[in-house]
Amino acid sequence: MSKGADVVVAGGGAAGCCIAYLLSKAGLQVTLVEREAVGSHSSGFAFGGMTPQYGPGIPGPMLPLSLTSIDLHQRLAQELREATGIETHFRRRPTLKLSYTEEEVQASQRDIVWQRRDGLDVRWMTPDEARAIEPRIGPAVLGVHYMEPAASVDSYRYVLALVQAAEKHGATVRHGTVIGLRRQGGRVMAVALEKEEVPCDTAVLCVGPWSGAASTWLGLPVPIEPVKGQLIRVQVEGPPLACAFWWAGGYCESKAADGLVWTGATHEHVGFDEVPTPAGRAELMERLVRAFPWMAEGRIVRHTACLRPTSADGLPVLGPVPGWEGVYVATGGGAKGVLLSAVMARAVADLVLAGRTDLDIAAMSPTRFASATMPTIPGAGAQGH
Ligand SMILES: Cc1cc2nc3c(=O)[nH]c(=O)nc-3n(C[C@H](O)[C@H](O)[C@H](O)COP(=O)(O)OP(=O)(O)OC[C@H]3O[C@@H](n4cnc5c(N)ncnc54)[C@H](O)[C@@H]3O)c2cc1C
């Protein structure tokens, strides 16, 4: 039995690191258990875009939470810079969504109606109006959906800064694989690793795409599927892109941290396979060149693939676990897990510290899958990639 903690956080991605940071900052003794390295999966390789206009539960319960999360990111960026000296490159900037077909034009124009009604700063632009912002938009574009608020962050630096700041507040980061939980009288008493147990009062499970394993630990379905995404980074002559761009199935932006144009992403249902493929690379480059023909002169300098933790209904799985006093799940951010990590962490910190949160997280309740059949849960029991 190793030295105990107030809270054990399992998983060193964006969700786990942000929770570890907030709880250690509040004075709790936190141990973060990560089986590889912090930020070694999608949290360290994500595009880092924040677009609250789209995603599962939008319009709906995830819109206010996404907007709140952007505000929380802005505050975190400053706090983390002061605490660690790490620049996370959080910045607010517009996102322009490009339409290539009449159907896409109509869909964007319909979305603009509800987005304006919900108070978002969105509008329709002709390609030439958009070229006043970014002159290199290609001729295949029929129209442009201007979207604010929007933002981005360097997700690896974000995770790194969170974990360093947590350590400054006394958190311990340790290597290990969580294999289960122990409880006494309904209350968690330890988190089990492969060779030992870490005693604790509270456990927070943030093991991302591997969260299906928690189904067997908890006796409650946590139906999370890994959805593979590939991303390329392109070196190209010329000034950086003026803002971020989106199109059906993809996006791109010039990143301040490395000066490269990042573009993604594929959506593949291939289990825990994280290997980049020539087909993925070709698809991403083709889409980038359709948006910006001058990118054809670019050189791909990095190609990565990682896994989005995606729930059966697309919404995160967040909150207390019934039947396990002191146990919380925070996962299922899907394609928005970097954006949502800040608000998910805030909610968990509220629940752990005060027993309640003002954030409306009902739609994300872990109990909503309670009637699912346990053996069909993707990823359940998975330990590998
Ligand atoms: C190509 C791509 C682009 C993306 N772009 C964006 C974007 O622009 N904006 C956005 O908001 N989101 C984006 N995402 C989604 C985002 O990256 C994820 O939703 C988010 O990073 C998930 O964070 P997490 O902490 O839940 O999981 P992860 O980052 O996967 O972290 C989970 C951690 O748990 C560890 N672990 C697993 N099992 C155990 C165990 N048993 N014991 C101990 N540790 C364990 C793993 O090693 C891992 O480090 C993108 C994803 C992809 C694939």
Domains (range + CATH), the chain: 5-77+155-224+313-376 (3.50.50.60), 93-149+226-311 (3.30.9.10)
The reply to whether ligand 1 has any atom less than 6 angstroms from the CB of 216 is no
Of 317, 357, 359, nearest in space to 337 by CA: 317
At residue 294, does pLDDT exceed 90?
A: yes
Place of tokens 């910006």: 292
The reply to whether ligand 1 has any atom less than 6 angstroms from the CB of 368 is no
Q: How far is the CA of 106 from the centre of ligand 1 (A)?
A: 33
The Cα–Cα gap between 318 and 190 comes to 20
At residue 385, does pLDDT exceed 80?
A: no
Residues 78-90 have pLDDT tens digits of 999 999 999 999 9
User: What pLDDT score does 358 carry?
Assistant: 98
Mean of the pLDDT values across residues 326-344?
Answer: 98
Of 213, 212, 151, nearest in space to 178 by CA: 213
- In our burial notation (b when 16+ CB lie closer than 10 A, e otherwise), range 155-189 reads bbbbbbbbbbbbbebebbbeebbbbebeeeeeebb
The reply to whether ligand 1 has any atom less than 6 angstroms from the CB of 337 is yes
Torsion of CA 192, 198, 203, 205, to 10 degrees: -50
Residues 148-199 have pLDDT tens digits of 999 999 999 999 999 999 999 999 999 999 999 999 999 999 999 999 999 9
Residues 228-260 have pLDDT tens digits of 999 999 999 999 999 999 999 899 999 999 999
The reply to whether ligand 1 has any atom less than 6 angstroms from the CB of 43 is yes
Q: Among 36, 43, 158, which is best to mutate for testing ligand 1, by the most ligand atoms less than 8 A from CB?
A: 43
Ligand 1 atom nearest the C-alpha of 14 is: 25
Total-model pTM: 0.95
Mean of the pLDDT values across residues 265-279?
Answer: 98
- Reply yes or no: is the peptide bond before residue 192 cis, omega within 30 of 0: no
Q: How far is the CA of 46 from the centre of ligand 1 (A)?
A: 8
The reply to whether ligand 1 has any atom less than 6 angstroms from the CB of 242 is no
Q: How far is the CA of 31 from the centre of ligand 1 (A)?
A: 19
- In our burial notation (b when 16+ CB lie closer than 10 A, e otherwise), range 81-110 reads eebbebebbbeebbbbbbbbeeebbeebee
Mean of the pLDDT values across residues 324-347?
Answer: 98
Q: pLDDT band for position 24 (50/70/90)?
A: very high
Q: How far is the CA of 164 from the centre of ligand 1 (A)?
A: 18
CA 366, chain centre distance (Å): 18
CA distances from 168 to 20, 161, 164, 171, 325 (A): 11, 10, 6, 7, 28
- Of all protein residues, whose CA lies closest to atom 30 belonging to ligand 1? 208
Ligand 1 atom nearest the C-alpha of 179 is: 41
Q: How do strand 244-247 and strand 178-184 relate by DSSP bridges? A: unpaired
6, 202 contact by CB (below 8 A): yes
The reply to whether ligand 1 has any atom less than 6 angstroms from the CB of 14 is yes
